[in-house]
Amino acid sequence: MQLIMIKTYIRECNKNPVKVLSEMNRHPSHYWFTSLIGFFLPKGYEKAFHMYSKISDEGSIIALHNVAYCYEGGFGVKKNEGKAFELYLKLAKEGYPVAQYDVGRFY
């Protein structure tokens, strides 16, 4: 999928880029789309953190995992490893395997 195709689709169909990103995050192959985050977020990490937070509030565990990652590395938000661990642990308890790995990294 080429970026120009996505840009044209969003513009011509009057789509909300946040909603398009949310749909892409929910796709079973969502990791293929993570490289496109820069296309949606030219303003940087702060905007990415805000968007992931918003999508995670809608129930996306993938977005919540990305919020935790932002906290862990200080991407778009003040670095807070405690908050990152808290979110990873929450996801791990829900059975999300990637978060289970991340909890293990903290030990």
Read out DSSP for 29-54?
Answer: TGGGTGGGHHHH-TT-HHHHHHHHHH
Q: Structural domain tally of the chain? A: 1
Structural domain range at position 37: 3-105
Q: What is the pLDDT of residue 24?
A: 72
d(CA 22, CA 62): 10
d(CA 71, CA 73): 6
Q: Show the low-confidence residues of the chain (pLDDT under 50).
A: 1
C-beta of residue 71 within 8 angstroms of C-beta of residue 87:
yes
